[in-house]
Amino acid sequence: MKKSLSLAAVVLLALTGCSAGQNRTGSSQEASDHGTYEGVTNWEGSGDDGVAFRATADVAAPAGVEEARTLMKKSETPLHFLAVTVDNIHGTQPVSASSASFTTPEGELVEYTMVGDYLNDYDAAESESGDAENRVIEVHNAFSSDEYEVVAGQKKTVVLASDHDYPHDVTHATVNGTTSLAPSETSAETDKATGAPEPSEAVGSNDKLADLNGTTLKDNDINFRIFSPNAQKDLNAAMPTQLKGAWGALCSNAATEEQLKETGATANGHHWRPFQYAVSESGVGALSGNADYKEYEAASLAEMSHGGVCAVIQSADESAAAETHLATVGHYLGNSTLESTVEVK
């Protein structure tokens, strides 16, 4: 259910940092005898056609970026951010601030590029929901190359990112690879830096709602797992109206798939029946297309997680997903009747 979003709207969100005119230069603005600037965090420079740049290192992450990196499973790889205020008020041509670089005395080059370079929905785990992928795309679009262009007559603050620490000692600093930067007494206008919009819809959880275990009267292990809120939503979106409800799976290392497909459960007044019976009782008939694939995918993902065999189980009441914490499992006879029951918890 991956969607392709194209967002042009960018909201102005505050970043923790220093606002324009505030001194934040570090320990030294003057180059030492060997041409090294020590502890400088504010920089400025002028390009062609009257454009001016002011940059401030080690600013907070723009809105949405840490959220997206978490959804991508990249939060353990920290990013470092550089705010750049581009003053093109007196310019006659559009200008971009898509990169910046800092050279250390050892010759190491620390490069900052567009934040969007570090946001890729394909890096999200396959088990993530469509909502999660859409949110990563939404944040990425807020930092696309178009957002780093500053038209003539405009002043704008953009944020660049690097996966390297900002260096304490710098011999050369540039923006866009061509405009040299020198230490500055003032910071970039970090309070006006662009960020991603708030999510258009909440990104749900991928954690199972329940994971209940027991042993059947035939001494087969039985695991009753209730799928995550994201999986519940995805399955219901794919199913015909008559089959919307709560979703889970019965899994076992000893029981066969055929046995599991004849097993049901009751819990807190809710009746869970094997998927094949749910289809029959709904009057829908045989499933096809995306609905059939989604049920197969749900069973396959459950088997990958459990390590045994699994069969999808369903309740016609969507509230059963969140209200099942203890269940009775047994051989299913239809009409919610169970025999040879055991407790799972």
Residues 105 and 170 in one domain: yes
Length of the chain: 345
Residues 309 and 250 in one domain: yes
Tell me which of 163, 183, 203 is where a domain ends.
Answer: 183
Residues 231 and 328 in one domain: yes
Is 12 a member of any domain? no
Output the pLDDT for position 129: 66
Residues 174 and 254 in one domain: no
Residues 154 and 231 in one domain: no
Is 149 a member of any domain? yes
Domain count, the chain: 2
Output the pLDDT for position 3: 32
Residues 218 and 80 in one domain: no
Is 307 a member of any domain? yes
Tell me which of 164, 183, 202 is where a domain ends.
Answer: 183
Is 334 a member of any domain? yes
Output the pLDDT for position 335: 76
Residues 240 and 145 in one domain: no
Residues 146 and 242 in one domain: no
Output the pLDDT for position 23: 38
Output the pLDDT for position 7: 31
Q: Is the pTM of this model over 0.75?
A: no
Is 58 a member of any domain? yes
Is 120 a member of any domain? yes
Domain carrying residue 228: 211-344
Output the pLDDT for position 125: 56
Is 30 a member of any domain? no
200-243 tens-digit pLDDT: 777 777 778 999 999 999 899 999 999 998 889 889 999 999 99
Question: Could you say which residues of the chain have pLDDT below 50?
Answer: 1-33
